[in-house]
Amino acid sequence: MALLELKDVNTYYGAVHALRGISLNVNEGEIVTLIGSNGAGKTTTLRTISGLEHARSGSITLGGTPIHQAKPHEIVRLGISHAPEGRRVFARMSVRENLEMGAFLRKSGPEVQADFKKVFDLFPRLKEREFQAAGTMSGGEQQMLAIGRALMAQPKVLLLDEPSMGLAPILVEQIFDIIKEINSRGTAVLLVEQNAMMALGIAHRGYILQIGEITIEDDASALAKNPKVKEAYLGV
Amino acid sequence: MAAGTVSTVRTEKPRSALALPVIILAFLAAMFVWMGFTQFLNALTLGAVYALVALGYTMVYGIIELINFAHGDVFMVATFVTMFVSGTILNQKEGIYGIPQLILSLVIVFAVTISIMAIIGAVIERFAYRPLRRAPKLAPLITAIGVSFILQNIIQYLVGPYTYNVPQLFPVDWAVMVGETRVPFLNIFVITVAVSLMALLQLFISRTRTGKAMRTTSMDRDASSLMGVNIDRTIMITFLIGSGLAGAAGVIHGLYYGNTNFQVGFQSGLKAFTAAVLGGIGNTAGAALGGFIIAFVEVGAVVLGFSRWGGAVVFSLLVIFLVFRPTGLLGSHTGDRA
């Protein structure tokens, strides 16, 4: 059974029909990527899953529990973490305080302390900057913090929105290695990317999103070979 | 972790951390020498009222970017609650005989008024502002003006449009002599209460889980909700605390000035709002600072013989100040939200 499942989800911004009947699923242990051009509805899909946007119809379930009526904070509690587009770290708080906010719903104790250590292992850079204000860090460091912060909630599913945006190629590779590492430790990942090549390189499966609709669904390796995908998203 | 790193790299600007208290102390000393002890105490007391009310403006603005025009009237209602609670206590005890009774009465007045105002503030948020959470900013602003009128009209209807005496719980003639000057205990008490409440608020915001949720919600509401922060609850708590502080300001006003009327919220509210802007809207320490500065300017105008021009002086200085520093004294600098 799918861990996270969307069935025929429709989301509107006022009169604009942004998601036109999206159905997708993420299984346990998987990295699934959602690829599409600007304005296709990738970010809206993630925002609808985490409750920031309201799905007008359709259903979203996590481990069988419907979550499309739940508020964002309830959805976090159920096990979905979302590292949003543009990082959205708390600029005037330190790196440590940001990570503490990631664990907002958890009782502080040895388990949370262990997760601090895990995040600092994944991102040694954050350990160096532990008491620095997040807003003063570089884009790459902020992206690391946004992912680390999302991990502090101990999610079952991690939603990542364009983690490569605005980063130097070498940093992008680093971030993608870390996403793989996070996944190998047991967290399912739904990855939204414009950098289709990189995303398909680490994903198990992928969906192509066009103007609010899913047009192609396949294994990542098959998508990477698909001529239509190659032409439209891989720049070949 | 290395202990040394904690002190060297902190999130706030280290430059102002030390400079600010020095500037404040120098300012207070200069005022003390210039206006004399009596007016100095008067300004501090007035400043305590403005600062407590300003905190409510700045907290609400910080978290939902609403100029809560009804906040001054929440303060006004608090002065009337104080009037009734004080009256009730004095009637039952037929006067206050000893210090234990006085302390008990004061605790009751503060506790009851603060609680009632906190609840009223939360109710206003729930029914007047929350339904407009996703509406354009102008809609809740107009609603706030509406709530302001509603509160004034309710008081006019229930009590009447006159100026009323607030029964004096705290004996105004208690004082100590310092050299030639008389120092009333009432002023000392009022200033102590106000400053303690402000210190408590700062501790609450910086240390507690709810306080941190308030800070993150004001920085980035969506990101905050993605951390698991209940936004509706956090905003309601902000209104609870802000209105509770206006409640405390209402008690202080009642104790100190001994009278009130249904329009008292308009003037004080505007000046407290000015204090919040002067301090840097959204910044709690700034609002407290702004409250005291406005009070000193106003009392200073009186000392110079411009008592009728108090308001004009205050607002002229504000306009000039904002030209040079639009973000206010401690307001956030651009780039914070990058």
In chain A (236 residues long), the average pLDDT of successive 10-residue segments reads 94 94 96 93 97 96 96 97 96 96 95 96 96 95 96 97 91 94 96 92 96 95 92 75
Structure tokens at B74: 């929440």
> What pLDDT score does B16 carry?
54
* Residue reference for tokens 């070498």: A170
Give contacts of A93 with chain B, Cβ < 8 Å: 11, 215-216, 219
Say if the Cβ atoms of B335 and A135 lie within 8 Å: yes
Q: Give the integer Cα–Cα distance in Å for B252 and B211.
A: 25
In a domain? residue A25 = yes
Say if the Cβ atoms of B224 and A101 lie within 8 Å: yes
Q: How far is CA A53 from the centre of its chain?
A: 15
Output the domain CATH number for residue A212: 3.40.50.300
Using CA coordinates, name the residue in chain A closest to B230: A73
Listing DSSP states for B105-152 in one string gives: HHHHHHHHHHHHHHHHHHHHIIIIIGGGTTS-THHHHHHHHHHHHHHH
The alpha carbon of residue B9 is apart from the nearest alpha carbon of chain A, in Å, by 6
Q: A149-178 burial, b if ≥16 CB within 10 A, otherwise e?
A: bbbbbebbbbbbbbbbeebeeebbebbbeb
Q: Give the integer Cα–Cα distance in Å for A175 and A164.
A: 7
> What pLDDT score does B201 carry?
97
Q: What is the dihedral of CA B59, B65, B66, B71, to 10 degrees?
A: 10
- Three-state SS sequence of B91-107: HHHCCCCCHHHHHHHHH
Quote the number of domains for chain A: 1
pLDDT digits (tens, 9 = 90+) for B216-246: 999 999 999 999 999 999 999 999 999 999 9
Please tell me which of the candidates A71, A90, A132 has its beta carbon nearest to residue B223.
Answer: A90
In a domain? residue A103 = no
Question: A 8-67 residues with CB below 8 A of B?
Answer: 50-52
Q: For residue B245, what are the CA distances in angstroms to A73, B201, B251?
A: 28, 9, 10
The alpha carbon of residue A27 is apart from the nearest alpha carbon of chain B, in Å, by 22
Q: For residue B43, what are the CA distances in angstroms to A183, B49, B50, B164, B317?
A: 62, 10, 10, 23, 17
Contacts A–B by Cβ distance under 8 A: 86
Say if the Cβ atoms of A76 and B223 lie within 8 Å: no
> What pLDDT score does B185 carry?
92
In a domain? residue A27 = yes
Domain holding A192, by residue range, is 1-79+157-163+188-236
pLDDT digits (tens, 9 = 90+) for B121-146: 999 999 999 999 989 999 999 999 99
Instruction: Report yes or no: A91 at the B interface, CB cutoff 8 Å.
Output: yes
In a domain? residue A7 = yes
> What pLDDT score does B309 carry?
82
Tell me the residue ranges of DSSP E strands in chain A: 4-13, 16-26, 31-35, 55-62, 65-66, 80-83, 157-161, 188-193, 205-210, 213-219
Which residues are registered as beta bridge partners of A133? Answer: A94
Query: Residues with Cβ < 8 Å from B78, sequence gap 6 or more?
Result: B113, B116, B117, B246, B247, B248, B249, B250, B251, B253
Helix locations, chain B, DSSP H: 3-8, 14-64, 71-93, 99-124, 138-158, 185-207, 209-219, 221-226, 231-257, 264-279, 284-303, 310-324
Instruction: Report yes or no: B9 at the A interface, CB cutoff 8 Å.
Output: yes
User: Positive or negative, the Cα torsion across B15, B18, B24, B27?
Assistant: negative
Instruction: Report yes or no: B11 at the A interface, CB cutoff 8 Å.
Output: yes
Please tell me which of the candidates B228, B332, B337 has its beta carbon nearest to residue A104.
Answer: B228
Which residues are registered as beta bridge partners of A16? Answer: A13
> What pLDDT score does B95 carry?
58
Q: For residue B176, what are the CA distances in angstroms to B37, B44, B139, B180, B183?
A: 13, 18, 52, 10, 5
- Which amino acid appears at position B65 of this protein? E
> What pLDDT score does B15 carry?
52
Per-residue pLDDT for chain B (338 aa), expressed as one digit of tens each?
A: 333 333 334 444 445 567 778 888 898 999 888 988 889 999 999 999 999 999 999 999 999 999 999 999 999 999 999 999 999 988 875 656 788 888 999 999 999 999 999 999 999 999 999 999 989 999 999 999 999 999 999 999 999 999 999 998 888 888 888 878 888 999 999 999 999 999 999 999 999 999 999 999 999 999 999 999 999 999 999 999 999 999 999 999 999 999 999 999 998 999 999 999 999 999 999 999 999 999 999 999 888 888 888 788 888 888 898 899 888 888 864 434 33
Instruction: Report yes or no: B327 at the A interface, CB cutoff 8 Å.
Output: no
In a domain? residue A200 = yes
In a domain? residue A114 = no
Say if the Cβ atoms of B5 and A89 lie within 8 Å: no
Structure tokens at B163: 């100026």
In a domain? residue A86 = no
- Domain range summary for chain B, segments of one domain joined by +: 46-159+182-263
In a domain? residue A98 = no
Say if the Cβ atoms of B216 and A105 lie within 8 Å: no
Say if the Cβ atoms of A149 and B231 lie within 8 Å: no
Q: What is the dihedral of CA B21, B22, B24, B27, to 10 degrees?
A: 170
Instruction: Report yes or no: B332 at the A interface, CB cutoff 8 Å.
Output: yes
Q: Which of A49, A75, A77, A92 to mutate to test the interface with B (most CBs of B within 10 A)?
A: A92
